[in-house]
Amino acid sequence: MDKYLNTAIKAVITEFPKVGAILNEYGIGCVTCGVGTCLLKDVIDIHNVPKAVELEMMKKIEAVINNLDVEEDISSNEAAMQVPREISYSEPIQRLVDEHKLILELLDLVPVLCDKINADLEGSRELVALSADFIRQFADKFHHAKEEDILFAYAKGNSDIINVMLEDHKKGRYYAKSILLGLDMEDASFITYSLKHYRELLSEHIKKENEILYPWLEKGMSVEQLDELQREFDRADSSFESDFYSKWESFVKNI
Ligand SMILES: [Fe+2]
Ligand SMILES: [Fe+2]
């Protein structure tokens, strides 16, 4: 068992697919995670599983690995439902989570936006251009920049998960460009394709950050480091116009 505790979760799931099903039942989505390099022992740690639930879950995982019978039906296990999904963040991290909320609000509007584009591309031109601008200015220059230039530096020695996040940011930039390119080409299907893929990408990305990366990074930071993070975020935000946030907030709310 010790060997597997120190093995990357993707390799454990490949060898024992039932382990993925068990984690999934406890709300831990390692099967669909694009990283997969977290060690089995760290997965439990990162996800803040309460001790009693951890013991229950580990018993099942151990039984699968040791090829013992697991009689209980995993899906009907009540303990699985007890994993709290509400996470409380420190002040600077909560700031990023709040920015995610605004980005998610725009992502929620993508299907409506796509319907509008398909019905009347010319009439939706301004809205599409502004949405692409929101992605570039708010999601990327304001939000992703704080992560890339400041937060990710605190993940010393853990580059795999950070590389996946950076790759997602890069793809997001590509989709923003594609949306504007689609406008130039007056190609409604190209725009809606890019918007839908951006929505898919960012929704997953934000979920990974909110539920895994942020709590995990925070856990390794001292109070002094969190204070420092807050100051650095203040500095970064002060380089934007004072109404930057409220301007984009009203844009999303008024769509
Ligand atoms: Fe990010
Ligand atoms: Fe983010």
Angle value at C-alpha 233, between 203 and 249, nearest 5 degrees = 50
CA distance 213 to 198: 20
**Residues 95, 155: Cα–Cα separation, whole Å:** 18
Which of the residue ranges 43-47, 80-84, 144-148, 219-223 would you say has the lowest mean pLDDT?
A: 80-84
Closest CA to 16 of 75, 82, 70, 53: 70
User: Residue ranges of the domains in the chain?
Assistant: 2-82, 91-254
Ligand 2 center–CA 100 separation, angstroms: 6
Tell me how far the alpha carbon of residue 68 lies from the centroid of ligand 1, in angstroms. 40
CA–centroid distance, 208 to ligand 1, in Å, is 9
Of 31-40, 47-56, 185-194, least confident by mean pLDDT is: 31-40
The mean pLDDT of the chain is 88
Q: Mean pLDDT lowest for which of 52-56, 83-87, 161-165, 174-178?
A: 83-87
pLDDT of residue 26: 83
- pLDDT bin (cut points 50, 70, 90) of residue 42 is confident
In this structure, the number of other CB atoms found within 10 A of the CB of residue 7 comes to 14
Is pLDDT at 32 greater than 90 in this prediction?
no
How much distance in Å is there from the Cα of 224 to the middle of ligand 1?
23
Mean pLDDT across 249-253:
96
Output the pLDDT for position 95: 97
Q: Which ligand is nearest to the CA of 210?
A: 2
* pLDDT tens figures, 112-143: 999 999 999 999 999 999 999 999 999 999 99
Instruction: Let me know: does 137 contact 248? Beta carbons within 8 Å.
Output: yes
For 91-254, CATH gives: 1.20.120.520
Q: How far is the CA of 227 from the centre of ligand 2 (A)?
A: 19
Q: Which of 56-65, 83-92, 240-249 has the lowest mean pLDDT?
A: 83-92
Interval 1-12: pLDDT, tens? 778 888 888 888
- What's the CA angle centered on 246, arms 171 and 168, to 5 degrees? 10
CA of 45 to the centre of ligand 1 (A): 21
**Nearest of 112, 124, 106, 122 to residue 202 by alpha carbon:** 106
Architecture of domain 2-82: Orthogonal Bundle (1.10)
Give residue 8's pLDDT: 84
Between the CA of 150 and the centroid of ligand 2 the distance, in Å, is: 12
Distance 152 CA to ligand 1 centre (A): 9
- Residue 69: pLDDT band (50, 70, 90) is low
Q: How far is CA 59 from the centre of its chain?
A: 29
pLDDT surpasses 70 at 17: yes
Percent of the chain with pLDDT over 90: 61
Check residues 73 and 123 and name the one with the higher pLDDT: 123
User: What are the helix (H) ranges across the chain?
Assistant: 2-5, 9-15, 17-25, 40-46, 51-65, 91-119, 121-134, 145-149, 159-185, 188-208, 214-219, 223-238, 244-254
pLDDT over 80 (residue 194): yes
pLDDT in tens, 137-166: 999 999 999 999 999 999 876 677 888 899
CA of 169 to the centre of ligand 1 (A): 6
